[in-house]
Amino acid sequence: MRKKKAIMRWLFFFLPLPLFSSTVIPYLNYMSPPNQLTLVRVILTPVFAFLLISDSTTNKQLALLVYVIAALTDWYDGWVARRWGFITRWGKFFDPLADKILTSTAFIMFAWIGYADAWMVWIIVVRDLLVTALRSYTEYKGKPVDTSKFAKTKTFVQLVVIYLFLIAYVVRNSPALYSIAGTIVNRIMIPEVTFSAMLIVTFLTAWTGILYAVRNWQTIKDLFSTHARTAESE
């Protein structure tokens, strides 16, 4: 198993670090292969945003590709972590946060291009980042958290809307693609549909955030009470 881990580190590392040096063990714990993939997802996020709002048709198409690649790293880093035993506390904190950074950026871009109302996007982004930060921190501290079954439904609906909006935007801004699928996209992406879709996403996101806070209030309260006592003692 140690040999396999060493091979995986060698394959995934971007920097030529000495794997067996005691001086880099803390670095290895933080920058294991899955965490590097998570970092790639964070780095690709602003690249996606820049390409999407650029004037170039090719860049808009590349934005969709970049988003898909970034989203795939979410699945792949989890697989690598489980397959090769690279599950770490830092990874449990960093991975979901990177996911929300990516999805939140997508919704912000939708507000930018006029596909979503700003107030809806603010609710989605603030809720997702706050809940994810709290959840990641509690798990990082080893505290149990209770998540709602609606959370998976919310995530699924968010992804459907994100890909629908991205594909529609790319098709509408690509003459070649528009000539093929423009009619279908225009029939689907009418204002009533886009508004209703975002309204559903906003409601599910806000509701699951409330459920999370209610179900884990005592855990959150205990966690921050302990943190406050520790800070006072120092």
CA–CA dist 49, 67 (Å, integer): 9
The predicted pLDDT at position 117 comes to: 96
Q: Are 29 and 90 in contact (CB under 8 A)?
A: yes
Sign of the Cα torsion 210, 215, 220, 225 reads positive
Tokens 């670095």 -> residue: 27
Q: Which domain holds residue 215?
A: 2-233
For residue 17, what pLDDT band results from cuts at 50, 70 and 90? very low
| Domain tally, the chain | 1
For residue 150, what pLDDT band results from cuts at 50, 70 and 90? confident
| pLDDT tens digits along 22-45 | 344 444 455 666 777 788 889 999
Would the pLDDT of 51 be above 90?
yes
From residue 203, how far is each of 158, 193, 206, 219 by CA, in Å? Answer: 11, 15, 5, 25
CATH number at residue 65: 1.20.120.1760
Tokens 């690709």 -> residue: 44
**Greater model confidence, 81 or 216:** 216
| pLDDT tens digits along 95-148 | 788 888 999 999 999 999 999 999 999 999 999 888 887 777 776 666 666 666
The predicted pLDDT at position 146 comes to: 60
CA–CA dist 231, 130 (Å, integer): 22
Q: Which residues of 186-225 are buried (b: 16+ CB within 10 A; e: fewer)?
A: eeebeeeebeebbeebbebbbebbebbeeebeebbeebee
The predicted pLDDT at position 130 comes to: 85
Mean of pLDDT values over 196-206 = 95
Ramachandran angles phi, psi of 56, nearest 5°: -80, 130
The predicted pLDDT at position 233 comes to: 52
